[in-house]
A and B are shown apart, each in its own frame.
Chain A
Amino acid sequence: MDVEILSRIQFAFTVMFHYIYPPMSIGLAVLLIFMEGMFLKTGNPMFERMTKFWVKIFALTFAMGVATGIVMEFEFGTNWATYSRYVGDVFGSALAAEGIFAFFLESGFLAILLFGWDKVGPKMHFFSTIMVAAGAHLSAVWIVVANSWMQTPTGFHIVGEGMNARAEIIDFWAMVFNPSSIERLSHTIGGAWICGAFLVISVSAYYLLKNRHVELSRSSFKIGLSLAAFASLFQLITGHSSAVQVGEYQPAKMAAYEGHYNTEPGDLYLFGWVFDSEQKVIGIKIPGMLSVLLYMDSSKPVTGLNEFPPEDRPPINLVFQTYHLMVALGMYFIAFIVIGIFLLWRNKLFKTAWFMKLSVASVILPHIANQAGWVSAEVGRQPWIVYNLLRTSDGLSKVVSAENVLFSLILFTLIYALLFVLFLYLLDSKIKHGPEDEHNEPVVEQLVKAQ
């Protein structure tokens, strides 16, 4: 295998593994604000136990996010040096901004969130929780801005020629608010909220099925369901505006999403399979619906893949499948919250065992949706590393050999496999241990007195 494919596999693998954790942290951070806020408002110690339990889970996901996140920042330089030289003037400032505006904020207040319970007052602790959540969201802002610039680059010009050609910034805010930033950021954040919400929903349902921590779990289930409800509907809006924006600025990607070859009114597939050599999709479709989605007009033509030379097209079936998987899961989340809210309204939510079981199992689905969405967005950008500007194959490090990358790829694979197993083991044991029981402490006191 050559350097290009190995470097792409390594980047994809390390970023996908990394992206298991930040969405959980971002979503949980929002829920921690609710939980701790409820504690401050009501003074009910149940909310304190709930917050402390979820802070421990948060700490675990956060540590994994930190450990795997530094890899990403270094990999631009180690594996994509030519890319880094080419875009550093523009892309680098977004990364530096993430460090100075997000990571310092997040790590500083994280210390108080985790260890500061007895060191600061409850209000200051609550403030720290909010700041950690703000830091986590700001970090998403800057990294998604940087990534969106690779999708829809603006605010720069090219200086120099040949080996010395590079992008230079002319308008910083045009770079930050490039055409896809807002849509992609809101869609990413929404995905993270769903991820955190379903984690809380799943664990709460697990306790309810086991008849443990009943009062606490009912309450946390409802908190999780509220965020899931908001976020799922939010994703419908941001997903739609993302699609419109992709249709406008990255037509080849939009065409690949739906396997759309000829420039004509576009159909929307519910599912299907793309036969690229025959330029044909077999599946269930709604005729004209893609044109409606993009232009509110079923007769308006959508740019097809045949407008692009074959070397400028992304791998179509992969983009198609991951995109449709993400959309289908998005629909599932909406169905899930509709049923959940209906059952809650009828006062049957916690007695409906099948729904509780479904809640436990659904925890994995937001992860699949996030990863699938990421694959469709990034593979859909291919063969460009910066859309219409620099090809992925031209962005590699010139001095790094295939053996080098193979060595590091094997290393990451082994380490990440180990970490993933340990992460699941620890998550499982924390969940099995559960929140501190309200009766625990008095019992201990009685024992001490009895002695």
Chain B
Amino acid sequence: MNIIWMLVWIIVLFCVVMLHVAYATYFERKIIGRMQVRIGPMRVGWYGLLQPIADGVKSFFKEDIVPERADKSVFLAAPIICLVAMMTSLAVLPFAKGWVLADIDIGLLFVFAMSALASYGVVLAGWSSNSKYSFLGGLRSMAQVISYEIAMGMSLVGVMLMAGSLNLSEIVEAQGDSFLGMYLMPQCIGFFVFFISMLAETNRVPFDLPEAETELVSGYSTEYSGMRYAIFFMAEYIGMMVMASIGTICFLGGWNGPFPVPFFPPLWFVLKVYLFMFIFIWIRATLPRYRYDQLMGLGWKLLIPVALANIVLTACVKAVIG
């Protein structure tokens, strides 16, 4: 009986997240359109509201092209690896008090493990396409994810130290429901490092090098078409949402808000996640792209030392205060 309930919850979560992903693209296109003196999608449905669905249907019916010289099995598996890894990390996210599929004690580590697995999908996609642009995109992605995973992991060590737990629900509980309880203020250095790493981890501007369209055409997804391309796209957006959720949980106090909302407990959580999404889009509209070596320099020479210093500082303060 328990298993059936679990499956129902999984299906519900899947559908809700997919809907969010679809409308996150709409959200992005509308916001970025507004920032760039355009209007964004307007044609399909009222104010273009059906655009994400039209896009989904379109990519579903597009021809699925597999390059002749591609490593077929890996080529076909890569997007699925990406999507599955990203979807799996949703299981441990607490959307509200008790609203979590798997309340495990290593929640944070699990999310890291899954986001690292997702980069396998990207690397394999680049490798198996047998195209040089894809290959370069895959290589860039590998290097980028490895370096920024370190910085990101370290930036969250401060949070772990303060909360004394890796369980995401407990991290939220530890912050309490007051505004000042958020880890944003005491962990501002950690948040800074986390935020930049988050952009790099999700391949967003200014770190969208693996798919830098003006350099590598479309990077690792150059050879993909139709639904498989859409799966990469979905994985990227789920990745953005997962990272935004981690940011919300670890720094912004998760589902807690100024006042509780009894009929829909995750409201504050969703709002905070969308605040992150908005900032993602805002940055995309504002900044140019880093060069590959500069990106590496930033990661290793700035972010990792700063994150390390933050760990030492947090540990010392905790030892002194108790």
- Chains A and B belong together in one complex: no
